[in-house]
Amino acid sequence: MKNVLEYLENISNDNKVIDKNGSITYKDLQVVSKKIGSGLAKYVKNNDPVPVYMEKGISCLEVFMGSLYAGGFYSLLNAGLPKMRLGQIISVLDVDYVVTDKEHLENAKEFFPDKELILYEDLVDSEIDDELLSNIRARKLDVDPVYANFTSGSTGVPKGVVVGNRSIIDFIDNFTSTFGINETDIIANQAPFDFDVSVKDIYPALKTGATLVIVPKELFSRPAELIDFLVEHKVTTMTWAVSALCLISTFHGLDYKVPETVKRVMFSGEVMPMKHLKEWMKHLPNATFVNLYGPTEITCNCTYHIIDRNREYEKIPVGIPFNNEDVFLLDENNKLVESGGIKGEICVRGSALALGYYHDEERTSKVFFEENGKRVFESGDLARYDEDGNLCFISRKDFQIKHMGRRIELGEIEAECDKLSEINRCCCLYDEKREMITLFCEINGNLTSQEIRSLLKNRLADYMIPSKVKIYEKLPLNANGKINRQELKKSL
């Protein structure tokens, strides 16, 4: 196999993709995607990006697959993003067209005034040109790109992480076999389609022919209805952001109703607070829970840890590598870390590595490098090995500060805060000019800032106690469901 479209083409069952507007079988999805591909081919050159300005759903997925049939790769322009951010992304992609639909046409005219707008509704009326599609496919390689997801960049310009066929095939084959996902499963998609967590929903479904249920985003502000949805659709597999799982447990949604068909719950992106994990495990005693780790540049994940129900965790490890991924630590002198307890930067090599950052060789060369003929990615994440050989995440390199003459990992402070039953979620930021650590948190009860600092004095060295504590009813989240640190920085 060299092209992810083969996943779709090999499905022989009558399972479906379901969204809030209806459903489509995989066979019909293939037909519609070929129509879109035939229509798009007049605009798209080989390996060109196809910007897609639509809501996530079946129609969006059809355009994704159609983009691949046309010989290009897709990149979702999330309709929830502000105009300036979308403008930055489209400038990086640097093409003359945007695919949209009638629902978003007026906004698209405003946001992309100099682009040709290609309507989804017109594309689905195209005739399938089998000869054209066959000629396009004949030129495609397994190293050709499939999608570009944009992440934040330290310079303020978004980074477009480009991922190819071979990387997806390598990872998804291992992902589905490791966790036993098959055509009988019903996968509930939570993540936005411009966030790589969604890749672990879309492509396992396409590979195995499992049913894919796209959860309406509005349900994530209505926990009871969200639980009803999971129960109604008999969901078996949840690969969700930590924040989405915590939404349900924070509002005691599982006390209202339990989605008893769920067999596996996998989470990533942030540290899962133990109190929330225990709540889920209590209500789903037979389900498997998995902590997944990996930056976007690694095609979703490079390590995993299956939760041991009989173990008392101080901190959940990020675990062991997936098959065909070499994950190792390098210390400050770029020497290999081989013993436990020593901190190092997580580095990865293997087929699952992304192709790089689109139109940005300089950034690409900073984190992807060749060593003895092997391509390696430097993650910027710090970790150590525990006594069982599992990797344990410590912090981001850029979350390391020097305060009061000491080197401090802000992630370490956050980890101790997460252990407090009084704190639901939190994050720490550092104001270098004022030399102040600020803790931002959601709390249970009516604790004051001073009381929280007092609790931390029993857990942290004096120089690690936050100078300020800011209490929120709900911490701001970014489009990917992670705590929005950039937004919080404005209130330092």
Render pLDDT for 475-485 as a digit per residue (tens, 0 to 9): 999 877 889 99
- 25 three-class SS: strand
Of the candidate ranges 42-46, 166-170, 234-238, 481-485, the one whose mean pLDDT is the lowest: 481-485
Tokens standing for 118?
A: 């290609």
Summarize pLDDT for 113-146 with one digit per residue, the tens: 999 999 999 999 999 999 999 999 999 999 999 9
Selected residue with higher pLDDT from 340 and 12: 12
| Residue 460 or residue 353, greater confidence | 353
Q: Identify the band that residue 396 occupies on the pLDDT scale cut at 50, 70 and 90.
A: confident
**pLDDT value at residue 446:** 86
Q: What is the DSSP string of 93-106?
A: H--SEEEE-GGGHH
Which pLDDT value is given to residue 463?
81
CA distances from 423 to 247, 333, 461 (A): 14, 37, 19
How do beta strands 288-293 and 303-306 pair?
A: antiparallel
φ/ψ of residue 289, rounded to 5: -115, 135
154 — pLDDT class (breaks 50, 70, 90): very low
pLDDT on residue 266: 98
Residue 153 pLDDT > 60: no
Whether residue 443 contacts residue 470, with contact meaning beta carbons closer than 8 Å, is answered with: no
Closest CA to 303 of 271, 340, 328: 328
- The pairs formed by 154-159 with CB atoms below 8 angstroms and a separation of 24 or more are 154/398, 157/88, 157/92, 158/85, 158/88, 158/89, 158/92, 159/357, 159/360, 159/363
Q: DSSP characters for 377-404?
A: EEEEEEEEE-TTS-EEEEEEGGGEEEET
- 432, β-bridge pairs: none
Closest to 184 measured CA to CA, from 205, 166, 199: 205
**Measured distance CA(191)–CA(182) in Å, rounded:** 20
Looking at residue 399, what is its pLDDT?
A: 75
Instruction: Look at strands 159-164 and 356-357 and give their pairing.
Output: antiparallel
**Phi (first) and psi of residue 268, to 5 degrees:** -165, 180
Q: Tokens for 201?
A: 């929903």
The residue among 467, 17, 398, 453 whose CA lies nearest residue 202 is 17
Q: What is the pLDDT of residues 298-319, one digit of tens each?
A: 999 999 999 999 999 988 999 9
Judged against a pLDDT cut of 50, whether residue 375 lies above it is answered with: yes
pTM here? 0.86
- pLDDT tops 60 at residue 155: no
Count CB neighbours of 378 within 10 A. Answer: 18
> Is the model's pLDDT at 321 over the cut of 50?
yes
Q: Higher confidence at residue 404 or residue 89?
A: 89
Residue 383's CB: how many other CB atoms inside 10 A?
Answer: 23
- Residue 1: the pLDDT is 94
Q: What are phi and psi of 28, to 5 degrees?
A: -70, -35
- Alpha-helical (H) ranges within 407-483 are 410-418, 449-457
Exposure of 432 by Cβ count < 10 A (0-12 exposed, 13-18 middle, 19+ buried)?
Answer: exposed
Backbone angles phi, psi at 385, to 5 degrees: -95, 140
Higher pLDDT: 109 or 157? It is: 109
pLDDT digits over 400-433, tens only? 787 876 778 788 788 889 888 889 999 999 998 8
CA distance 237 to 190: 11
The DSSP-derived string for 127-148 is: PP-HHHHHHHHHH--TTSEEEE
- Amino acid identity, position 93: L
Q: What is the pLDDT of residue 223?
A: 94
pLDDT score for 176? 98
- Given this model, what pLDDT does residue 398 score? 76
Rounded Cα gap, residues 108 and 110, in angstroms: 5
Is 60 exceeded by the pLDDT of residue 47? yes
